[in-house]
Amino acid sequence: FDIGTYRYRLAANGNGQWSLVGAKAPPAPKPAPQPGPQPGPQPPQPPQPPQRQPEAPAPQPPAGRELSAAANAAVNTGGVGLASTLWYAESNALSKRLGELRLNP
């Protein structure tokens, strides 16, 4: 979706709700499954060595923002004014030099 300056996409949050997120944003994590019925009592198990805890995922850098088509058009037309101004300045300088040549035989 192009809304304003940036592009967005719809993302489900797992509860049946939808929200707008940046077009380059990583997908939302899936919710943990709900536990099922608990089994009956188990016989005692021999002691296990301690398990290493899984590391938390590394933080993600902020997602880049993708400009909408209208914003890209506005940004790209900024150089047009500069190019035309430069063209007029160069043609003005050229006509002055040509005028000086015509006046001095």
Range of the domain at 87: 78-105
Residue-level pLDDT at 3 = 64
The answer to whether residue 35 sits within a structural domain is no
Confidence check: pLDDT of 1 > 80: no
The answer to whether residue 96 sits within a structural domain is yes
The answer to whether residue 87 sits within a structural domain is yes
pLDDT tens column, 36-91: 777 777 777 777 777 777 676 666 655 566 777 777 777 666 666 667 777 888 88
Residues contacting residue 21 through CB under 8 Å, at least 6 positions apart: 8, 9, 10, 11, 28
SS3 letters across 46-60: CCCCCCCCCCCCCCC
Sign of CA dihedral 100, 101, 102, 105: positive
The answer to whether residue 21 sits within a structural domain is no
* Structural domains in the chain (count): 1
**Can you give the pTM of this predicted structure?**
0.32
SS3 letters across the chain: CEECCEEEEEEECCCCCEEEEECCCCCCCCCCCCCCCCCCCCCCCCCCCCCCCCCCCCCCCCCCCCECHHHHHHHHCHHHHHHHHHHHHHHHHHHHHHHHHHHCC
Residue-level pLDDT at 34 = 74
Residue-level pLDDT at 91 = 84
The answer to whether residue 86 sits within a structural domain is yes
The answer to whether residue 91 sits within a structural domain is yes
Structure-token pair, residue 96: 């002055």
